[in-house]
Structure 1
Amino acid sequence: MRAQYLALGSALGSAIVLALAACSEKPAQAPDATASAPAAAGPEAAPGITVSDATVRLPAVPGNPGVAYFTIAQGSGAPRKVAAIHVDGVERAEMHESAMKNGVSTMGAVSEVALEPGKTVQFAPGGYHVMLFGLADTVKAGGTAELTVTLDNGDKVSVSAKVEGVGGGDAMGDHAMKM
């Protein structure tokens, strides 16, 4: 019985650390020149789909997963689905959804995210987000990484994502010392 409680405590502790490191809320900030702009139409661009406000947040502990957030909208046409996400400098990206079930916060992988004409879907803390596994040393706070969304029909939309440290800032995050 004691082993079960220890395993449950360990699992809860891990979930809390992951939630705080990867899915923490931060105050809204005004957009700046380095924040991602809506993806422009290109040779692989999906008609009517826009991706904006893309951010990659580095993990609190190197080697742990990072997270990506963005907003995606479908202007018109038949309903579509986000089928996959790719981020340059990342070994594997998985779409996840956080939710409250019976008073307990849960997080799990999802294979697709539905889009509807005229609607916007946010990948943000507390909801849909992209877990990033195996971040390369080249993905650094203050830089950018290309984020590519693949739709169910194979169309793709790419956007430059701002790379942030823990807490949404530079490499020191919100813990930078002031002198």
Structure 2
Amino acid sequence: MTRKLVLAGLSAITLTLAGCGQNTDAPSPAASESEIAGPESAPGVAVSGATVRLPAMAGSPGIAYFTATLSGADPRRIAGVYVEGVGRAEMHETTTTNGISSMKPVKDVALTPDQPTEFKAGGLHVMLFEVGDALKAGGTTEITITLDNGDKVSAPAKVEAFGAAAGMDHDMSAM
């Protein structure tokens, strides 16, 4: 009985190894999306200075800031943002009219060649909903932007406690 199990196991290994010599030009079905369209798939686009600010209270939204730069290429648009450890991320913009600030979601954000696009307090920013317990002040996470053509760029983001820097651009308790 043991001999039959050993032979069956060796047969399975032989069949698996025989498949290794096949054409490898196409991505394997098991390849992850990041291996196929990873951070290196957006030439000329860089994300820097990424920071995730944790919510003041559990269940409230957090916020993310970063700078995106497009070097010497045709204009692109940021179509979405993903932050590791967060259930949902939405791009928003704070505007002030007649001394009254308001915040609204934005569908996409223009990237102009050689002109940094800043996500910062008082302007464009990313609202973070369903912030996971794994994100801790002093740690890091990863932020990934997706462009209008599907290319992605990832960068590390510092995780900070709420109020770690002055200039909060809105009262998140109303969210």
Structure 1 residue 152: Cα displacement: 0.3
Task: Give the CA deviation at 1:102.
Answer: 2.6
Structure 1 pair 61/71, CA: closer, same or farther in 2 (3 Å)?
Answer: same
User: Which TM-score applies when normalising by structure 2?
Assistant: 0.71
Which of 101, 110, 116 does residue 97 from structure 2 map onto? 101
Taking structure 1 as reference, are residues 54 and 43 closer, same or farther at Cα in structure 2, changes over 3 Å only? closer
**In the alignment, what sits opposite 1:116?**
112
Taking the aligned partners of 1:152 and 1:89, their CA distance within structure 2 comes to 23
SS at match of 2:163: helix
Unaligned stretches of 5+ in structure 2? 1-37, 166-175
Give me the CA root mean square deviation: 1.2
* 1:44 to 1:92, Cα distance in 2 relative to 1, 3 A: same
* Residue 87 (structure 2) aligns with: 91
Q: What letter matches 1:150 in structure 2?
A: T
Instruction: For 1:18-167, list aligned pairs within 5 A.
Output: 44-167=40-163
CA distance in 2, matches of 1:100, 1:71: 21
Task: After TM superposition, give the deviation of residue 137 of structure 1 in Å.
Answer: 0.4
The CA deviation at 1:43 is: 5.5
Q: CA deviation at 1:45?
A: 3.3
Q: CA separation in 2, counterparts of 1:74 and 1:110? A: 20
What is the deviation of 1:103? Answer: 2.0
CA contact (8 A) 2:53 2:161 kept: yes
Q: Which runs of 4+ in 1 moved over 2 A?
A: 42-45
Give the residue type in structure 2 aligned to 1:93: A
Alignment: residue pair count: 128
Partners of 1:69 and 1:143 in 2: CA distance: 16
- Decide whether the 8 Å contact of 2:70 with 2:113 is kept in 1: yes
Q: TM-score, normalised by structure 1?
A: 0.69
Q: Determine which structure has more spread, i.e. the larger CA radius of gyration.
A: 2
Percent sequence identity over aligned pairs: 57
Question: What secondary structure sits across from 2:41 in the alignment?
Answer: coil
More off after superposition, 42-51 vs 68-77: 42-51
